[in-house]
Structure 1
Amino acid sequence: MEHSVVLGTGIFFVGIIAGFFNTIGGGGSLLVLPFLSFLGMDVALANGTNRIAIVLQCFTGAETYRRKNVLSLRIALPLAGITTLGSIVGTFLAINIDREFLNLSVAALISLMAVLLVFKPEMWEKQHETRLSKTAVFFIFFAIGIYGGFIQAGVGFFLTWGLALAAGVDLIRGNAIKMVIVGLYNIVSLAIFYRSGLVDIPVGLILAAGSMVGAVAGAKFAVAKGNSWIRWILASVVILSAVKMVFDVLS
């Protein structure tokens, strides 16, 4: 893909938007991957290149959340380890899973999440006790890791859901933990993509620069506005993402 000032500026601003939405809920990669593909980048290369931005935006967002005293590393690090194991499997499977089937499955699942966001606010806005066994938690986050290693786009939605179910955290604290989880497992995925020649470093760094700006803005916005705002924004993004996934399959 040819690089130019105009192209770089466009990638930078897309990074800002993606970083903002990834930090307050998820779905940023659902914008980045089609954008890079529209510019002529192969989907597999776009998938790998996006990991640079994901890693840097996550650690920028996590640090911002830490400074706001809403990040629990005690919860984040063990779950990050489990998710990383799954991401290794997902990354190696990235070229073998039927994309249309995956899109429809994900669209159905996140549509259910949208319903819960709208009609079960107490699940997302308050911390609560959980009754899931350690085995169930392992399989939930291992499965999320497989999906994240495979495509990344939309994984934030599943992590937000998983954290509400398994850790009982509210949306703001869940977003902070999610930053650590996604950042750590994407280091491994990025290394695998890079070894396979599927990373455009200049594009990835431009995208990352914008994503880091968006991540800081997103984390500050989330803490300032509170769980109710984030729940409605997340529900809107989830619905739009589900519609886009179905449209991609049908078009």
Structure 2
Amino acid sequence: MTLDPQILAALIAAAVAAGFVDAIAGGGGLITVPALLLAGVPPTQALATNKVQGVFGAATAAISYARSGHVDPRRQIVAAALAFAAGLGGALAVSAIPTQALRYALPVVLVGIALFFALKPGLGDLDRTERLRPAAFTALIVPLIAFYDGLLGPGAGAFYMIAFVTLAGHGILRATAHTKLLNFASNAGGLTGFALTGHPLWLLGLAMAAGQVMGAALGARLAVRIGARLIKPLLVVTSSCLALKLIWDLL
């Protein structure tokens, strides 16, 4: 697929913005998928190409948070492997599983997440009491969200985030840091599934990946510096916008 240089530049700029948002609160696909569709990329290829560039942004954010000391990737290896396998399974199951009912439920869930982070008192960067042991969290929660990430994708970062806060007892910044490697792994699994079916536009995805890396590095740096005061409002905004977009698509 040949694109005008101005359209390509606009897509890379959209990837920069998406990488910035994704590194902090998730929801970068809210920017890049519509941009790809407006550029004339067919829907299935837009989703697949979005995975290509999204993998690079998630990897950059994960590395940035690890370097800042907010997460130890070695302790997430098992969870990341499960997330990859579940993301791959979700992508391969796209044509076999009816997802319409899930599409109707998603806006409600995302609005609920936005309200939780907006109204819940006491949510900050301090850790809270965990409600689920790490082994149980890894075995039960991670594959569920990762499978959804491969199957549909919108809001997966917010789902990881709220799981870490409510079930693992993490503070906002620590939850964000722990989300990124898993988001990368389930994205990589989903991308593998799409690659097996030949859908990604690799050159376009890699060009946008350069923008993702820049945006993600900046976003992670700001999140580490500012913490919950930046992450919470952006998470509320992205979850609400994603819910509105999904409602618009359904109507």
What is the CA-CA distance between 1:96 and the residue it aligns to? 3.9
- Give, in whole Å, the separation in 2 of the partners of 1:38 and 1:126: 41
Alignment match, 1:146: 147
- Give, in whole Å, the separation in 1 of the partners of 2:126 and 2:45: 40
- Give, in whole Å, the separation in 2 of the partners of 1:178 and 1:90: 18
Tell me if structure 2 keeps the 8 A contact 1:76–1:178. no
Q: Give the percent of matched residue pairs that are identical in Structure 1 and Structure 2.
A: 25
Gaps of 5+ in 1: none
Alignment match, 1:182: 183
Alignment match, 2:227: 226
What is the CA-CA distance between 1:17 and the residue it aligns to? 0.8
Partner deviation per Cα, 1:57-83 (whole Å, 9 max, x = no partner): 112112221222212325533322332
Partner deviation per Cα, 1:184-237 (whole Å, 9 max, x = no partner): 232232222112111101110111111111000100111111212211121111
| DSSP 3-state at the match of 2:2 | coil
Distance 1:136 1:167, change over 3 A: closer
- Give, in whole Å, the separation in 1 of the partners of 2:195 and 2:201: 9
- Give, in whole Å, the separation in 2 of the partners of 1:161 and 1:186: 18
Counterpart residue identity of residue 161, structure 1 = I
Alignment match, 2:209: 208
Tell me if structure 1 keeps the 8 A contact 2:91–2:190. yes
- Give, in whole Å, the separation in 1 of the partners of 2:62 and 2:137: 26
Alignment match, 1:29: 29
Tell me if structure 2 keeps the 8 A contact 1:163–1:169. yes
Tell me if structure 2 keeps the 8 A contact 1:58–1:182. yes
Tell me if structure 2 keeps the 8 A contact 1:53–1:207. yes
- 1:66 equivalent to 2:66? Answer yes
Partner deviation per Cα, 1:136-173 (whole Å, 9 max, x = no partner): 65222221011101122221010101111332212222
Tell me if structure 2 keeps the 8 A contact 1:28–1:153. no
**Aligned-CA RMSD value:** 1.9
| DSSP 3-state at the match of 2:240 | helix
> Which segment drifts farther, 164-173 or 72-81?
72-81
Q: Tell me the TM-score normalized by structure 2.
A: 0.92
Tell me if structure 2 keeps the 8 A contact 1:77–1:181. no
- Give, in whole Å, the separation in 1 of the partners of 2:192 and 2:130: 35
Tell me if structure 2 keeps the 8 A contact 1:56–1:212. yes
| DSSP 3-state at the match of 1:23 | helix
Alignment match, 1:11: 11
- Give, in whole Å, the separation in 2 of the partners of 1:204 and 1:24: 21
Pairs within 5 Å for 1:64-213: 64-98=64-98, 100-123=100-123, 125-132=125-132, 134-135=135-136, 138-213=139-214
What is the CA-CA distance between 1:100 and the residue it aligns to? 4.3
Counterpart residue identity of residue 86, structure 2 = G
Q: Tell me the TM-score normalized by structure 1.
A: 0.92
Counterpart residue identity of residue 102, structure 2 = L
- Give, in whole Å, the separation in 2 of the partners of 1:52 and 1:37: 15
> Which segment drifts farther, 190-199 or 67-76?
67-76
Tell me if structure 2 keeps the 8 A contact 1:75–1:177. no
- Give, in whole Å, the separation in 2 of the partners of 1:225 and 1:136: 27
> Which segment drifts farther, 24-33 or 65-74?
65-74
| DSSP 3-state at the match of 2:127 | coil
> Which segment drifts farther, 145-154 or 116-125?
116-125
Tell me if structure 2 keeps the 8 A contact 1:15–1:207. yes
Alignment match, 1:217: 218
Tell me if structure 2 keeps the 8 A contact 1:89–1:149. yes
